[in-house]
Amino acid sequence: MASQPSRRRADAQRNRERLLAAAEAALNADGVNASLDDIAKAAGVGNATLYRHFPTREKLIEAVYDHRIRALCDAAGELAASGEAGEALVDWLRAVVCHITQSQVLGDAFMAAYEGPADVEPPQIIAWHRALREVAAPLLGAAQAAGAVRPDLDVVELLALTTAVARAGNPAQAGHFLGFLLEGIVPRPG
């Protein structure tokens, strides 16, 4: 009996997770030229297993980045359910800044492997941005309803500012810059 496409055998899922972790480490260290053989070896699987899960370098890079975006989306839901609205938003924005500063090489590798038209944003990037906006909107709305964030800020502005903060200067400065941004989005008394 064949399994459903979204369901993998437990060993296949473990192999996929190990491959993603090994690929992320290799791509962060070596960029788009990371050795697929070394990735398979680091994951403790053969090349055939790597290619069965990820038939091309582009698909592997896309899967690694997608995995990171999913983690950010999951974190937004957990933070929204677990804490005070303003703190939840701030904690998630810190996670976004960490993601951006730690994913620069990975993002560059994805774009270098992209084989579509140069003047068109890859569909996966559009989907990732949409997913982040969708999970950020409830966090922002709750923080605004609690009076922790200015009511005139929208989710696109918030994410654009957060991205700019993460990319300004060097990664060590990003947390400091985020502090300035957060002071700017807090409402001021009358």
Domain map of the chain by residue range? 10-55, 57-185
Residue 145: its pLDDT value, please? 95
Least Cα distance to 132 among 93, 87, 103 occurs for 93
Residue 2: its pLDDT value, please? 35
Show Cβ contacts of residue 50 under 8 Å, excluding neighbours closer than 6 positions.
Answer: 19, 36, 39, 40, 43, 60
Query: How far apart, in whole angstroms, are the C-alpha atoms of residue 141 and residue 8?
Result: 37
- CATH node for 10-55: 1.10.10.60
Query: How far apart, in whole angstroms, are the C-alpha atoms of residue 178 and residue 6?
Result: 38
Query: How far apart, in whole angstroms, are the C-alpha atoms of residue 179 and residue 190?
Result: 22
Task: List the pLDDT tens digit at each of the 190 positions of the chain.
Answer: 333 445 668 888 999 999 999 998 998 888 778 899 999 999 999 999 999 999 988 899 899 999 999 999 999 999 999 879 999 999 999 999 999 988 887 887 788 777 778 788 889 999 999 999 999 999 999 999 999 999 999 999 999 999 999 988 777 888 888 888 888 888 777 6
Query: Hey, which CATH number is domain 57-185, 3.30.930.10, 3.40.50.300, 1.10.357.10, 3.20.20.70?
Result: 1.10.357.10
Least Cα distance to 51 among 16, 3, 21 occurs for 16
Residues of 127-145 as b/e, b for ≥16 C-beta within 10 angstroms?
ebeebbeebbbbbbbbbbe
